[in-house]
C-alpha cells in the first residue's frame, strides 16, 4: 500500500515569496491533516479536512496560509507571502474514519514532510 | 498552560537500562492517547496506543492515569535504536490530535 506522498521535499525561498506544498493521502483515507513542525517542537495542527470539508482550521494563519482539498483526495497548502518564522517542516497526515465520524484507531500516517527554509 | 506537556529531556540512558517519562494533558474530556516515535529529520510514526488498563508491547509499556491526567511510557532493556524523540499525542475530539513537544531519549553504549 502506498503511503502519504508529499512534494516538494525541500524548498528554499526568500521572505515575501510564495510557496505551495502538495499532499496525496493514503487511498481511501477520508481525513487529511496539515501540521507545521518547527525545529525542537511537536507538530502543530494547521488544518484538518474530512473529505473535502474543513473540520478545523482554527490555528491556520489565514492572512497568509490557505489550503484546499477540492475533490476530497489530494490537498495543497499555500503560503503567501512567506515570513522568516514560517521556516519549518510541513507534514501531511491522513487517517481513516468510521461512518460514525470519530477516528477509531488513532493512527495518523505521515508523509516525509516538506522542509521549508525562508531566507 | 499547554494542552499536552512533556519533559523535553534529553534522557541519557545506558544501553540495557530502563527509562520512563510522563506526559500530562489538560483536557479531561480527551478520548484517546498515543505515543509516537520520531527519528531525527523523519516523520512521526505510531509506537503504541495507550489504554486505561495499561498495555505492553515488547519492551515498551504505556499507562494512562485519567484521574491525574497523565500518560507514561517505560522502555526496558534500552537499545541504541531506541534513541529518538517520543511524542505524546492526545485525541481531543473529532479526530483532533494534539501533540506534545516530545521527549528526547539518547541511548548510549
- Residues of chain B with Cβ-Cβ distance to A25 below 8 Å are none
Q: Which candidate from A44, A50, A106 shows the least CB-CB separation from B91?
A: A106
- Which chain A positions have a beta carbon within 8 Å of B99's beta carbon? 35, 42-44
Greatest alpha-carbon pair distance for chain B in Å reads 43
* 8 Å CB contact of A112 and B96: no
The three cell numbers locating residue A17: 515569496
In this prediction, residue A103 carries a pLDDT of 46
Radius of gyration of chain A from Cα atoms?
14
pLDDT digits (tens, 9 = 90+) for A76-102: 999 999 999 999 999 999 988 643 444
Which tops the pLDDT comparison, B29 or B36? B36
Predicted pLDDT at A105: 58
For the segment B68-84, the average pLDDT, to the nearest whole number, is 97
In this predicted structure, the answer to whether residue B100 has a pLDDT above a threshold of 60 is: yes
B46:A107 CB<8 A? yes
Chain A nearest C-alpha distance from B101 (Å): 4
User: Which stretches of chain A are assigned E, i.e. beta strand?
Assistant: 5-7, 10-13, 19-24, 31-37, 44-50, 53-56, 65-68, 75-79, 88-95, 109-110, 114-118
Say if B100 is an interface residue toward chain A (CB within 8 Å).
Answer: yes
Residue A97 is predicted with a pLDDT of 61
**A23-57: pLDDT as tens digits:** 999 998 989 999 999 999 999 999 999 988 999 99
Q: What is the pLDDT of residue B81?
A: 97
Q: Is residue B94 very low, low, confident or very high in pLDDT (cuts 50, 70, 90)?
A: low
Q: Does residue A118 register a pLDDT over 90? A: yes
Q: CB distance from B42 to chain A under 8 Å? A: yes
Arithmetic mean of pLDDT over chain B: 93
Amino acid at each position: 500500500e502506498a503511503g502519504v506522498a508529499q512534494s516538494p521535499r525541500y524548498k528554499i525561498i526568500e521572505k515575501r515569496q510564495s510557496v505551495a506544498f502538495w499532499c496525496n493521502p493514503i487511498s481511501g483515507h477520508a481525513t487529511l491533516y496539515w501540521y507545521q513542525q518547527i525545529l525542537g517542537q511537536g507538530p502543530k495542527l494547521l488544518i484538518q479536512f474530512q473529505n473535502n470539508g474543513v473540520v478545523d482550521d482554527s490555528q491556520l494563519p489565514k492572512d497568509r496560509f490557505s489550503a484546499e482539498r477540492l475533490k476530497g483526495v489530494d490537498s495543497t497548502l499555500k503560503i503567501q507571502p512567506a515570513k522568516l518564522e514560517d521556516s519549518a517542516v510541513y507534514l501531511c497526515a491522513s487517517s481513516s474514519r468510521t461512518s460514525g465520524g470519530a477516528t477509531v484507531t488513532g493512527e495518523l500516517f505521515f508523509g516525509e514532510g516538506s522542509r521549508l527554509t525562508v531566507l | 498552560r499547554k494542552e499536552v506537556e512533556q519533559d523535553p529531556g534529553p534522557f541519557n540512558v545506558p544501553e540495557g537500562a530502563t527509562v520512563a517519562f510522563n506526559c500530562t494533558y489538560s483536557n479531561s474530556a480527551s478520548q484517546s492517547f498515543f505515543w509516537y516515535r520520531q527519528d531525527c529529520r523523519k516523520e512521526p510514526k505510531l509506537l503504541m496506543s495507550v489504554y486505561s488498563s495499561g498495555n505492553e508491547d515488547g519492551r515498551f509499556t504505556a499507562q494512562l492515569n485519567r484521574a491525574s491526567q497523565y500518560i507514561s511510557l517505560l522502555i526496558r532493556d534500552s537499545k541504541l535504536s531506541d534513541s529518538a524523540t517520543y511524542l505524546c499525542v492526545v485525541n481531543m475530539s473529532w479526530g483532533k490530535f494534539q501533540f506534545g513537544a516530545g521527549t528526547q531519549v539518547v541511548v548510549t553504549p
